Structure 1
Amino acid sequence: MLDSMGFREAGAGWGLPEPGSNRGYAPLQLIEQFIVSIWCGACRFVHAETVRMDSTLVRLFGWARAAGHKAIMRLFARFDMLTNERVQAEVYRWFFGKISALKRVTLDVDSTVITRNGNQQGAARGYNPSRHGRASHHPLLAFVAEARMVANFWLRPGHAHSANNILQFLESTLHHLGHKIVGLLRADSGFFDETVLSFLEDKGIAYIVAARLTQPLQRALYHASGWWALKPGLELTELRYRAARKPLHNPAYSFQRTR
Protein backbone atom coordinates (compact mmCIF):
# COMPACT_ATOMS: atom_id res chain seq x y z
CA MET A 1 0.00 0.00 0.00
CA LEU A 2 2.79 2.43 0.88
CA ASP A 3 4.51 1.69 -2.43
CA SER A 4 1.32 2.28 -4.43
CA MET A 5 0.82 5.62 -2.66
CA GLY A 6 4.39 6.70 -3.36
CA PHE A 7 5.08 7.10 0.35
CA ARG A 8 8.88 7.14 0.18
CA GLU A 9 8.97 9.53 -2.78
CA ALA A 10 6.61 11.93 -1.01
CA GLY A 11 8.37 11.58 2.35
CA ALA A 12 11.68 12.64 0.86
CA GLY A 13 10.28 16.13 0.42
CA TRP A 14 8.74 16.59 3.87
CA GLY A 15 11.88 17.96 5.49
CA LEU A 16 11.98 15.48 8.37
CA PRO A 17 14.56 16.34 11.09
CA GLU A 18 17.88 14.70 10.29
CA PRO A 19 19.83 12.66 12.87
CA GLY A 20 22.66 14.34 14.73
CA SER A 21 25.11 11.54 13.86
CA ASN A 22 26.32 10.12 10.57
CA ARG A 23 25.52 6.69 11.99
CA GLY A 24 21.92 7.65 12.65
CA TYR A 25 18.99 6.02 10.89
CA ALA A 26 17.27 7.77 8.00
CA PRO A 27 14.22 9.60 9.42
CA LEU A 28 11.92 8.16 6.75
CA GLN A 29 12.86 4.62 7.80
CA LEU A 30 12.02 5.48 11.41
CA ILE A 31 8.62 6.80 10.32
CA GLU A 32 8.05 3.58 8.34
CA GLN A 33 9.01 1.49 11.37
CA PHE A 34 6.68 3.53 13.54
CA ILE A 35 3.76 2.96 11.13
CA VAL A 36 4.48 -0.76 10.81
CA SER A 37 4.71 -1.06 14.60
CA ILE A 38 1.23 0.44 14.93
CA TRP A 39 -0.08 -1.96 12.28
CA CYS A 40 1.37 -4.79 14.37
CA GLY A 41 -0.52 -3.62 17.45
CA ALA A 42 2.01 -1.37 19.18
CA CYS A 43 0.57 1.11 21.68
CA ARG A 44 3.88 2.11 23.32
CA PHE A 45 7.25 3.06 21.84
CA VAL A 46 8.88 0.00 23.40
CA HIS A 47 6.53 -2.24 21.40
CA ALA A 48 8.45 -1.19 18.26
CA GLU A 49 11.04 -3.74 19.33
CA THR A 50 8.67 -6.39 17.94
CA VAL A 51 9.30 -5.07 14.42
CA ARG A 52 13.01 -4.77 15.08
CA MET A 53 13.25 -8.47 15.91
CA ASP A 54 11.17 -9.59 12.91
CA SER A 55 13.68 -10.34 10.15
CA THR A 56 10.90 -10.97 7.62
CA LEU A 57 9.54 -7.44 8.00
CA VAL A 58 13.05 -6.00 7.79
CA ARG A 59 13.64 -7.75 4.43
CA LEU A 60 10.14 -6.93 3.19
CA PHE A 61 10.67 -3.18 3.64
CA GLY A 62 14.25 -3.27 2.42
CA TRP A 63 15.85 -1.91 5.60
CA ALA A 64 19.52 -2.72 6.07
CA ARG A 65 18.74 -3.13 9.76
CA ALA A 66 15.87 -2.08 12.00
CA ALA A 67 16.28 0.63 14.60
CA GLY A 68 15.44 0.30 18.27
CA HIS A 69 12.51 2.13 19.77
CA LYS A 70 14.76 4.78 21.33
CA ALA A 71 15.86 5.90 17.87
CA ILE A 72 12.19 6.56 17.04
CA MET A 73 11.80 8.49 20.29
CA ARG A 74 14.86 10.60 19.48
CA LEU A 75 13.38 11.43 16.06
CA PHE A 76 10.16 12.77 17.59
CA ALA A 77 12.16 14.67 20.23
CA ARG A 78 13.76 16.67 17.40
CA PHE A 79 10.36 18.07 16.41
CA ASP A 80 9.56 21.53 17.74
CA MET A 81 6.18 23.23 17.31
CA LEU A 82 7.10 24.91 14.03
CA THR A 83 8.58 21.74 12.51
CA ASN A 84 5.61 19.70 13.67
CA GLU A 85 3.08 22.03 12.02
CA ARG A 86 5.11 22.25 8.80
CA VAL A 87 5.59 18.49 8.41
CA GLN A 88 2.04 17.74 9.49
CA ALA A 89 0.69 20.11 6.84
CA GLU A 90 2.88 18.51 4.14
CA VAL A 91 1.70 15.01 5.08
CA TYR A 92 -1.99 15.92 5.22
CA ARG A 93 -1.94 17.81 1.92
CA TRP A 94 -0.17 14.88 0.25
CA PHE A 95 -2.61 12.37 1.73
CA PHE A 96 -5.81 14.23 0.88
CA GLY A 97 -4.41 14.99 -2.58
CA LYS A 98 -4.43 11.22 -3.14
CA ILE A 99 -8.21 11.13 -2.64
CA SER A 100 -8.94 12.75 -5.97
CA ALA A 101 -12.56 11.58 -6.15
CA LEU A 102 -13.46 13.60 -3.06
CA LYS A 103 -13.96 17.24 -4.08
CA ARG A 104 -16.31 18.50 -1.35
CA VAL A 105 -16.10 17.34 2.24
CA THR A 106 -18.09 17.50 5.44
CA LEU A 107 -15.86 18.54 8.32
CA ASP A 108 -16.72 17.47 11.87
CA VAL A 109 -14.96 19.40 14.66
CA ASP A 110 -14.93 18.12 18.22
CA SER A 111 -12.92 18.02 21.42
CA THR A 112 -12.39 15.20 23.88
CA VAL A 113 -10.87 14.58 27.30
CA ILE A 114 -7.92 12.20 27.73
CA THR A 115 -7.26 11.36 31.38
CA ARG A 116 -3.59 11.22 32.39
CA ASN A 117 -2.38 9.23 35.38
CA GLY A 118 1.25 10.38 35.34
CA ASN A 119 3.07 13.69 34.92
CA GLN A 120 2.77 14.07 31.17
CA GLN A 121 3.77 17.41 29.70
CA GLY A 122 0.83 19.78 29.33
CA ALA A 123 -1.56 17.73 31.45
CA ALA A 124 -3.69 19.89 33.75
CA ARG A 125 -6.81 19.64 35.87
CA GLY A 126 -9.95 20.74 34.09
CA TYR A 127 -13.33 19.44 33.00
CA ASN A 128 -13.18 15.66 33.28
CA PRO A 129 -16.58 13.95 33.35
CA SER A 130 -15.22 10.44 33.98
CA ARG A 131 -12.34 11.09 36.43
CA HIS A 132 -13.13 14.20 38.43
CA GLY A 133 -10.05 16.06 39.63
CA ARG A 134 -7.64 14.07 37.48
CA ALA A 135 -5.14 15.77 35.20
CA SER A 136 -5.98 15.47 31.51
CA HIS A 137 -5.43 16.73 28.00
CA HIS A 138 -8.25 18.37 26.04
CA PRO A 139 -7.37 17.97 22.35
CA LEU A 140 -9.10 19.50 19.35
CA LEU A 141 -9.95 17.14 16.49
CA ALA A 142 -11.26 17.53 12.95
CA PHE A 143 -12.59 14.65 10.84
CA VAL A 144 -13.55 14.33 7.18
CA ALA A 145 -16.87 12.53 7.45
CA GLU A 146 -16.93 11.00 3.96
CA ALA A 147 -13.48 9.42 4.27
CA ARG A 148 -13.65 8.85 8.05
CA MET A 149 -10.16 10.30 8.30
CA VAL A 150 -8.57 12.72 10.77
CA ALA A 151 -7.85 16.10 9.16
CA ASN A 152 -6.20 17.75 12.15
CA PHE A 153 -5.35 17.12 15.80
CA TRP A 154 -4.07 19.62 18.37
CA LEU A 155 -3.15 18.59 21.90
CA ARG A 156 -4.10 21.11 24.61
CA PRO A 157 -3.98 21.23 28.44
CA GLY A 158 -6.94 19.80 30.31
CA HIS A 159 -8.15 23.20 31.51
CA ALA A 160 -8.48 24.62 27.96
CA HIS A 161 -11.96 25.69 26.88
CA SER A 162 -13.50 23.75 23.99
CA ALA A 163 -13.22 26.73 21.62
CA ASN A 164 -9.75 27.82 22.75
CA ASN A 165 -7.49 28.43 19.69
CA ILE A 166 -10.30 27.21 17.43
CA LEU A 167 -9.77 29.88 14.73
CA GLN A 168 -6.10 28.98 14.31
CA PHE A 169 -7.08 25.33 14.35
CA LEU A 170 -9.64 25.83 11.58
CA GLU A 171 -7.15 27.80 9.45
CA SER A 172 -4.64 24.98 9.87
CA THR A 173 -7.27 22.37 8.98
CA LEU A 174 -8.32 24.17 5.80
CA HIS A 175 -4.65 24.34 4.80
CA HIS A 176 -4.33 20.59 5.38
CA LEU A 177 -7.25 19.89 3.06
CA GLY A 178 -5.56 21.66 0.15
CA HIS A 179 -7.98 22.16 -2.73
CA LYS A 180 -10.86 20.31 -1.06
CA ILE A 181 -13.98 22.41 -0.58
CA VAL A 182 -15.62 22.26 2.85
CA GLY A 183 -19.31 22.03 1.99
CA LEU A 184 -20.46 21.76 5.60
CA LEU A 185 -18.91 22.07 9.05
CA ARG A 186 -20.56 20.42 12.05
CA ALA A 187 -19.76 21.06 15.71
CA ASP A 188 -21.36 20.82 19.14
CA SER A 189 -22.29 23.64 21.52
CA GLY A 190 -18.73 23.94 22.83
CA PHE A 191 -17.94 25.81 19.60
CA PHE A 192 -21.03 28.03 19.62
CA ASP A 193 -19.09 31.27 19.71
CA GLU A 194 -19.46 34.59 17.92
CA THR A 195 -15.93 34.52 16.51
CA VAL A 196 -16.36 30.97 15.19
CA LEU A 197 -19.64 31.75 13.42
CA SER A 198 -18.25 34.97 11.91
CA PHE A 199 -15.14 33.12 10.71
CA LEU A 200 -17.23 30.45 8.96
CA GLU A 201 -19.53 33.00 7.34
CA ASP A 202 -16.57 35.06 6.12
CA LYS A 203 -15.16 31.88 4.54
CA GLY A 204 -18.53 31.04 2.97
CA ILE A 205 -18.69 27.70 4.81
CA ALA A 206 -22.13 26.36 5.66
CA TYR A 207 -22.32 25.11 9.22
CA ILE A 208 -24.44 23.27 11.75
CA VAL A 209 -23.37 24.24 15.28
CA ALA A 210 -25.45 23.28 18.29
CA ALA A 211 -26.48 26.35 20.31
CA ARG A 212 -26.06 26.69 24.06
CA LEU A 213 -29.54 26.52 25.56
CA THR A 214 -29.25 29.63 27.74
CA GLN A 215 -32.26 31.09 29.55
CA PRO A 216 -32.71 33.99 27.08
CA LEU A 217 -32.66 31.50 24.22
CA GLN A 218 -35.14 29.27 26.02
CA ARG A 219 -37.50 32.24 26.40
CA ALA A 220 -37.14 33.04 22.69
CA LEU A 221 -37.96 29.44 21.81
CA TYR A 222 -40.97 29.45 24.13
CA HIS A 223 -42.46 32.39 22.23
CA ALA A 224 -41.38 31.12 18.79
CA SER A 225 -44.03 30.31 16.21
CA GLY A 226 -44.04 28.65 12.82
CA TRP A 227 -43.13 25.17 14.05
CA TRP A 228 -43.61 22.55 11.34
CA ALA A 229 -43.52 18.79 11.64
CA LEU A 230 -40.64 17.06 9.91
CA LYS A 231 -42.00 13.73 11.08
CA PRO A 232 -44.21 12.58 13.97
CA GLY A 233 -42.64 13.77 17.22
CA LEU A 234 -40.06 16.07 15.57
CA GLU A 235 -40.77 19.73 14.76
CA LEU A 236 -38.59 22.51 13.32
CA THR A 237 -38.65 26.29 13.28
CA GLU A 238 -36.34 29.18 12.40
CA LEU A 239 -35.85 32.45 14.26
CA ARG A 240 -33.39 35.29 14.53
CA TYR A 241 -31.69 35.50 17.88
CA ARG A 242 -29.18 38.08 19.09
CA ALA A 243 -27.16 37.49 22.22
CA ALA A 244 -27.29 40.49 24.54
CA ARG A 245 -23.51 40.85 24.80
CA LYS A 246 -22.92 40.38 21.07
CA PRO A 247 -25.09 42.90 19.27
CA LEU A 248 -23.30 42.85 15.93
CA HIS A 249 -24.30 39.36 14.94
CA ASN A 250 -27.95 38.56 14.36
CA PRO A 251 -28.09 35.35 12.29
CA ALA A 252 -31.01 33.06 11.67
CA TYR A 253 -31.00 29.85 13.68
CA SER A 254 -32.86 26.63 13.04
CA PHE A 255 -34.18 24.72 16.03
CA GLN A 256 -35.82 21.38 16.56
CA ARG A 257 -37.98 20.01 19.36
CA THR A 258 -39.26 16.56 20.13
CA ARG A 259 -42.54 15.54 21.66
Structure 2
Amino acid sequence: MKIEQTFQDFDCLKKGNAKYPLSKIFLYLITGWLADCSYMFHFRSLQKDPLITAFLGEKCPHYTLLSKDLLRLKNVEDAAIEFKEREMDILEPWLDSNLILDFDSSVETVYGNQEGAKVGANSHKPGRKSYHPLLVFEGKSHLCLNGVLRPGLVHSSDHVIEFAEETYRLLSSQYFSGMPFLINVLVEKSFTVTGKTTRSIMPEN
Protein backbone atom coordinates (compact mmCIF):
# COMPACT_ATOMS: atom_id res chain seq x y z
CA MET A 1 0.00 0.00 0.00
CA LYS A 2 1.45 3.35 -1.05
CA ILE A 3 0.54 5.15 2.19
CA GLU A 4 2.47 2.66 4.29
CA GLN A 5 5.40 2.62 1.86
CA THR A 6 5.56 6.43 1.88
CA PHE A 7 6.31 6.50 5.61
CA GLN A 8 8.67 3.51 5.82
CA ASP A 9 11.69 5.78 6.25
CA PHE A 10 10.43 6.53 9.76
CA ASP A 11 10.55 2.86 10.77
CA CYS A 12 14.17 3.28 11.84
CA LEU A 13 12.96 5.23 14.89
CA LYS A 14 11.88 1.91 16.41
CA LYS A 15 13.69 -1.39 16.77
CA GLY A 16 13.88 -3.46 13.63
CA ASN A 17 11.88 -6.28 15.20
CA ALA A 18 9.10 -4.00 16.48
CA LYS A 19 5.66 -5.57 16.07
CA TYR A 20 4.20 -2.27 14.89
CA PRO A 21 6.66 -0.20 12.81
CA LEU A 22 5.88 3.50 12.59
CA SER A 23 4.64 3.19 9.01
CA LYS A 24 1.98 0.75 10.26
CA ILE A 25 1.11 3.09 13.14
CA PHE A 26 0.64 6.00 10.72
CA LEU A 27 -1.59 3.86 8.51
CA TYR A 28 -3.67 2.92 11.55
CA LEU A 29 -3.95 6.57 12.61
CA ILE A 30 -5.14 7.61 9.15
CA THR A 31 -7.65 4.75 9.13
CA GLY A 32 -8.92 5.78 12.56
CA TRP A 33 -9.29 9.43 11.61
CA LEU A 34 -11.31 8.37 8.56
CA ALA A 35 -13.48 6.39 10.98
CA ASP A 36 -14.06 9.58 13.02
CA CYS A 37 -11.62 8.80 15.83
CA SER A 38 -10.95 12.38 16.93
CA TYR A 39 -9.07 11.45 20.10
CA MET A 40 -6.62 8.68 20.89
CA PHE A 41 -8.99 6.90 23.28
CA HIS A 42 -11.53 6.63 20.45
CA PHE A 43 -9.24 4.02 18.90
CA ARG A 44 -10.39 1.59 21.58
CA SER A 45 -13.50 1.01 19.49
CA LEU A 46 -11.36 -0.16 16.56
CA GLN A 47 -9.08 -2.61 18.34
CA LYS A 48 -11.33 -5.62 17.72
CA ASP A 49 -13.07 -4.38 14.60
CA PRO A 50 -12.86 -7.27 12.09
CA LEU A 51 -12.78 -4.98 9.05
CA ILE A 52 -9.95 -2.82 10.42
CA THR A 53 -8.03 -5.90 11.54
CA ALA A 54 -8.37 -7.45 8.09
CA PHE A 55 -7.29 -4.18 6.47
CA LEU A 56 -4.14 -3.93 8.60
CA GLY A 57 -3.44 -7.64 8.22
CA GLU A 58 -2.93 -8.15 11.95
CA LYS A 59 -4.21 -7.25 15.41
CA CYS A 60 -4.60 -3.52 15.98
CA PRO A 61 -2.12 -1.83 18.34
CA HIS A 62 -3.34 -0.68 21.75
CA TYR A 63 -4.48 2.92 21.66
CA THR A 64 -1.96 3.97 24.35
CA LEU A 65 0.88 3.02 21.99
CA LEU A 66 -0.18 5.64 19.45
CA SER A 67 0.78 8.70 21.51
CA LYS A 68 4.05 7.10 22.59
CA ASP A 69 5.03 6.42 19.00
CA LEU A 70 4.14 9.92 17.85
CA LEU A 71 6.50 11.29 20.50
CA ARG A 72 9.34 9.51 18.71
CA LEU A 73 9.04 12.12 15.97
CA LYS A 74 10.69 14.62 18.30
CA ASN A 75 13.93 12.93 17.26
CA VAL A 76 13.34 13.91 13.63
CA GLU A 77 14.45 17.37 12.55
CA ASP A 78 11.69 19.26 10.70
CA ALA A 79 9.33 16.30 11.14
CA ALA A 80 6.26 18.40 10.28
CA ILE A 81 7.65 19.40 6.88
CA GLU A 82 8.80 15.83 6.23
CA PHE A 83 5.26 14.62 6.81
CA LYS A 84 3.71 17.32 4.67
CA GLU A 85 6.03 16.56 1.77
CA ARG A 86 5.18 12.86 1.92
CA GLU A 87 1.49 13.63 2.21
CA MET A 88 1.73 15.76 -0.92
CA ASP A 89 3.38 12.87 -2.78
CA ILE A 90 0.26 10.83 -2.05
CA LEU A 91 -2.24 13.57 -2.91
CA GLU A 92 -0.77 15.11 -6.06
CA PRO A 93 -1.83 12.29 -8.44
CA TRP A 94 -5.44 13.13 -7.52
CA LEU A 95 -5.14 16.86 -8.18
CA ASP A 96 -6.25 18.71 -11.29
CA SER A 97 -3.58 20.56 -13.27
CA ASN A 98 -5.37 23.86 -12.55
CA LEU A 99 -5.55 24.33 -8.81
CA ILE A 100 -7.95 26.37 -6.71
CA LEU A 101 -6.61 26.77 -3.18
CA ASP A 102 -9.18 27.68 -0.52
CA PHE A 103 -7.73 28.75 2.82
CA ASP A 104 -10.02 28.33 5.83
CA SER A 105 -9.61 29.09 9.50
CA SER A 106 -11.89 27.78 12.23
CA VAL A 107 -12.18 27.59 16.00
CA GLU A 108 -11.77 24.21 17.70
CA THR A 109 -12.84 24.29 21.36
CA VAL A 110 -10.98 22.10 23.86
CA TYR A 111 -12.09 20.92 27.30
CA GLY A 112 -8.83 20.71 29.20
CA ASN A 113 -5.33 22.14 29.26
CA GLN A 114 -4.07 20.86 25.93
CA GLU A 115 -0.70 22.18 24.85
CA GLY A 116 -0.96 25.37 22.81
CA ALA A 117 -4.65 25.99 23.45
CA LYS A 118 -5.48 29.56 24.46
CA VAL A 119 -8.57 31.62 25.25
CA GLY A 120 -9.55 33.74 22.27
CA ALA A 121 -12.53 34.74 20.16
CA ASN A 122 -14.97 31.84 20.48
CA SER A 123 -18.64 32.64 19.96
CA HIS A 124 -19.52 28.95 20.25
CA LYS A 125 -18.02 28.55 23.75
CA PRO A 126 -17.00 31.99 25.10
CA GLY A 127 -14.18 31.84 27.61
CA ARG A 128 -13.11 28.32 26.65
CA LYS A 129 -9.61 27.56 25.49
CA SER A 130 -9.39 26.71 21.83
CA TYR A 131 -7.22 26.23 18.80
CA HIS A 132 -7.51 28.37 15.67
CA PRO A 133 -6.23 26.07 12.90
CA LEU A 134 -5.51 27.27 9.40
CA LEU A 135 -6.19 24.81 6.58
CA VAL A 136 -5.96 24.81 2.81
CA PHE A 137 -8.22 22.73 0.58
CA GLU A 138 -8.05 22.15 -3.15
CA GLY A 139 -11.29 23.60 -4.50
CA LYS A 140 -12.12 20.88 -7.03
CA SER A 141 -11.18 17.70 -5.18
CA HIS A 142 -11.79 19.17 -1.69
CA LEU A 143 -8.63 17.45 -0.48
CA CYS A 144 -6.82 19.05 2.45
CA LEU A 145 -3.32 19.94 1.25
CA ASN A 146 -1.82 21.63 4.29
CA GLY A 147 -2.63 22.73 7.80
CA VAL A 148 -1.19 24.41 10.86
CA LEU A 149 -2.46 24.34 14.44
CA ARG A 150 -2.52 27.80 16.02
CA PRO A 151 -3.52 28.95 19.52
CA GLY A 152 -7.04 30.29 19.91
CA LEU A 153 -6.00 33.89 20.52
CA VAL A 154 -4.54 34.54 17.06
CA HIS A 155 -6.36 36.53 14.39
CA SER A 156 -7.80 34.65 11.42
CA SER A 157 -5.27 36.20 9.03
CA ASP A 158 -2.17 35.79 11.23
CA HIS A 159 0.69 34.18 9.27
CA VAL A 160 -1.61 33.31 6.37
CA ILE A 161 0.88 34.56 3.76
CA GLU A 162 3.72 32.50 5.24
CA PHE A 163 1.38 29.51 5.31
CA ALA A 164 0.43 30.09 1.66
CA GLU A 165 4.09 30.29 0.69
CA GLU A 166 4.80 27.02 2.51
CA THR A 167 1.92 25.39 0.63
CA TYR A 168 3.34 26.67 -2.64
CA ARG A 169 6.74 25.15 -1.83
CA LEU A 170 5.11 21.79 -1.06
CA LEU A 171 3.41 21.62 -4.45
CA SER A 172 5.26 20.53 -7.58
CA SER A 173 6.45 23.25 -9.93
CA GLN A 174 4.19 21.85 -12.67
CA TYR A 175 1.27 23.73 -11.11
CA PHE A 176 2.94 27.13 -11.25
CA SER A 177 4.86 27.38 -14.50
CA GLY A 178 5.50 31.11 -14.32
CA MET A 179 1.83 31.97 -13.80
CA PRO A 180 0.47 33.96 -10.85
CA PHE A 181 -0.52 31.85 -7.88
CA LEU A 182 -4.14 32.74 -7.05
CA ILE A 183 -5.21 32.09 -3.49
CA ASN A 184 -8.74 32.37 -2.17
CA VAL A 185 -8.64 33.00 1.56
CA LEU A 186 -11.94 32.22 3.22
CA VAL A 187 -11.83 33.60 6.76
CA GLU A 188 -13.93 31.80 9.34
CA LYS A 189 -14.45 32.82 12.92
CA SER A 190 -16.08 30.42 15.36
CA PHE A 191 -17.44 28.38 12.45
CA THR A 192 -19.07 31.46 10.88
CA VAL A 193 -17.81 32.97 7.64
CA THR A 194 -17.06 36.62 8.31
CA GLY A 195 -15.22 37.74 5.21
CA LYS A 196 -13.35 36.81 2.09
CA THR A 197 -10.18 38.17 0.56
CA THR A 198 -8.26 37.29 -2.55
CA ARG A 199 -4.49 37.64 -2.90
CA SER A 200 -2.24 37.03 -5.86
CA ILE A 201 1.32 35.85 -5.25
CA MET A 202 3.84 35.61 -8.07
CA PRO A 203 6.11 32.63 -7.31
CA GLU A 204 9.83 33.28 -7.30
CA ASN A 205 11.88 31.94 -10.19
Normalised by the shorter chain, which TM-score bucket?
0.7 to 0.9
Name the TM-score, length of structure 1 as normaliser: 0.63
CA contact (8 A) 1:37 1:50 kept: no
Aligned residues: 191
Q: Which structure has the larger Rg over C-alpha atoms?
A: 1
CA contact (8 A) 1:17 1:75 kept: no
Unaligned runs of 5+ in 2: 188-194
CA contact (8 A) 2:102 2:186 kept: no
Q: Which residue of 2 aligns with 1:85?
A: 81
Measured in 2, the distance between the counterparts of 1:38 and 1:159 equals 26
Measured in 1, the distance between the counterparts of 2:104 and 2:51 equals 40
Q: Which residue of 1 aligns with 2:90?
A: 95
Distance 1:164 1:75, change over 3 A: same
Q: Which residue of 2 aligns with 1:126?
A: 120
Are 1:203 and 2:203 an aligned pair?
yes
| TM-align CA RMSD | 2.9
Measured in 1, the distance between the counterparts of 2:162 and 2:11 equals 23
Q: Which residue of 1 aligns with 2:191?
A: none
Name the TM-score, length of structure 2 as normaliser: 0.78
Are 1:140 and 2:138 an aligned pair?
no
CA contact (8 A) 1:124 1:157 kept: yes
Instruction: Kindly indicate whether structure 1 or structure 2 has the higher relative contact order, using CA contacts under 8 Å at least 6 residues apart.
Output: 2
Q: 1:84 offset after TM fit, Å?
A: 1.8
Measured in 2, the distance between the counterparts of 1:56 and 1:169 equals 37
Range moving further from structure 2, 19-28 or 111-120: 19-28
Measured in 1, the distance between the counterparts of 2:55 and 2:126 equals 47
CA contact (8 A) 1:123 1:158 kept: yes
Are 1:32 and 2:27 an aligned pair?
yes
Q: 1:110 offset after TM fit, Å?
A: 1.9
Q: 1:175 offset after TM fit, Å?
A: 2.5
Q: Which residue of 1 aligns with 2:49?
A: 54
SS in 1 for 2:100: strand
Equivalent position to 2:184, from 186, 189, 205: 186
Distance 1:39 1:107, change over 3 A: closer
Q: 1:177 offset after TM fit, Å?
A: 2.5
Measured in 2, the distance between the counterparts of 1:38 and 1:188 equals 24
